[in-house]
Chain A
Amino acid sequence: MLLRSQKLFYLLVVFVLLVLVSAYFLKSSNFATNNFWFGFLAFSLVTILVGYYLGVYRVFGPIIKQVEALMAGAEYKKVFLNRKDEFGLLAQFFNYVTKNLESVSHDLKEGNRMMSELDLASEIQRSILPRAIPMVDKLDVAARTRPAEEVGGDSFGFMQKGRQTFLYLGDVTGHGAPAGLIMMMVNTLLYVYLEMSNDTKEWLTKTNLTLKPRVNGTMFMTTVALRWDPDLEKMFYTGAGHEHILIFRAYEGVCEAIASGGIALGMTDDISEIAKEKELNLKKDDVVVLYTDGIPEARNQASEMFTLNRLKDAVTRNGKLGTAAQVFEGIAKDFRAFVGEEPQLDDITLIVMRYTGVPVVEVGKTTETSWGQI
């Protein structure tokens, strides 16, 4: 198929040939004066210019004008050319590309809008996580969390009920916005049901009962709840499918891993038969470490996982460093050394509690919970 510009080119070639042949024959005739040759040349050139104007410039101009406007970032319009040749095709192509550009621009705007909404969600979530932990009577506590994305699935809370401190650490399956929504729901339920609960088993059972019908089967939250009674100096726990509770036995210098037991919240309707509150037998200077699976499942450059065993080793190595904050920093350093520069794929939370037996005198003093760079 000949394109319009090709047709025009061939026409011009034929025209030039005709001019040359005519000139050749006219050269031998007598009437070919200088004036005639001037007129002949002028006619030929004007015909070529008119042909170019009609065939190329007039049709191509509107497209080029809009392309220039587009390139300059100025306002451009759709090009309407009612033609079935390559110029018509070019105009259609221009319209198609600019339409896609508008769509990309819309997507970008939408992306920006979603990002600011995610930022807002992240801010709301951060606001429900404790920015700082209140001092807990006879315990020295350090706790930090860092989500893998804007919104995370890890959460924890320290709540006072009378003289007792209730605390929980939870990890929703996966991470990101869906996990964050479940996490916020559970956090709220836990605050609500604390008033109606006397122990950690009751606390988690009631929370689960409300949570289960509101989540689909894929999402659940592994949780461990602790109750610290400073008068009895005893700590109790109930597991809901969470990771182990690690205890650094200060006297023996070993790290013990206790399966927290139970079933994750949101997995089944009634966990009352499964959940049990048990006592953690602690001696002074023992350190209790709670964590989420983002820590043992973190991988290094060789794709090896940090694993529970490495975490236990880190707790054993650092358990005697002194304050909870120092023990925390020691474990975090070991973790950082292992994962190196690998990106964080899951939310991570680590809570370190040292049983000091020393009553809190600095009322109102708090410790920060945001986990900085790893």
Chain B
Amino acid sequence: MAHLDLNVMASEPNAQHQIVQFKGEMDKSNLEQARAVITKFIDDYQLPLLIFDLTYLDFINSEGVGFTVSMFYKLRKKGQDLKIIKVQPKVEDVFKLIGLTELIKCYPDLGSALADITSSP
């Protein structure tokens, strides 16, 4: 089974976002576990922006992309936004291939993600 760690980073007081860091590989073998954890997290999430930090995500397949899209829509339904930062080239190739980057904006770093206010729901 591919290994995937999810780490919810502590945010600064009064911050309007929180960061979830993905580490490892995301595919069918660990997707259900990740889905259970993140879905619960997003259900309880109150801030206007959630950021997925993919610095350490080495692999994702189409099912992983499907999962990301479903989380995006889940947040949008609640009037919140999802942004992705620090995507590795291999993962970015998959995102571009499937067209995810047309739907969810990817940024090289946190600063540029926070500075861009055009993608709000």
Contact = CB atoms under 8 A, between A and B. Distances in A.
A218 interface: yes
A263 B99 contact: yes
B66 to A, nearest CB: 4
Nearest to A305: B59
B44 interface: no
A263 B98 contact: yes
Interface size class of B (residues with CB under 8 A): 10 to 19
A240 B99 contact: yes
Interface residues of A, number: 26
B28 interface: yes
Contact of B103 (A173, A174, A216, A268): A268
B34 to A, nearest CB: 12
A73 interface: no
A173 B63 contact: yes
B18 interface: no
Interface string A221-250: 010000000000000000011111000000
A263 B63 contact: no
Q: Secondary structure at chain A's binding surface: helix, strand, loop or mixed?
A: loop
B70 A267 contact: no
B99 A297 contact: no
B98 A174 contact: no
B119 interface: no
A157 interface: no
Nearest to A153: B62
A274 interface: yes
Interface of B: 28, 61-63, 65-67, 69-70, 72-74, 96-100, 102-103
A218 B69 contact: yes
Nearest to A345: B28
Contact of B97 (A241, A268, A345): A241
Contact of A217 (B62, B63, B70, B102): B70
A216 B102 contact: no
Nearest to A172: B62
A324 to B, nearest CB: 25
5 contacts: A171-B62, A217-B74, A222-B98, A267-B98, A274-B99
Contacts of A171: 62
Contacts of B63: 173-174
Candidate in B65, B72, B98 with the most chain A CB atoms within 10 angstroms: B98
B13 to A, nearest CB: 32
Contacts of A262: 99, 102
Contacts of B102: 262-263, 268, 274
A277 to B, nearest CB: 16
Interface string A244-283: 1000000000000001111110011000001000000000
Interface string A163-195: 000000001011000000000000000000000
B65 A173 contact: yes
Nearest to B95: A241
Given A173-B66, A174-B28, A217-B70, A293 B61 contact: yes
B74 A264 contact: no
A218 B70 contact: yes
B97 A216 contact: no
A96 B41 CA distance: 41
Contacts of B100: 241, 263, 267
B100 to A, nearest CB: 8
What are the 10 tightest A-B residue pairs by CB atom distance, in nearest-first order? A263-B99, A241-B99, A217-B70, A217-B73, A241-B98, A173-B66, A218-B70, A263-B102, A218-B66, A173-B62
Given A174-B28, A220-B66, A263 B72 contact: no
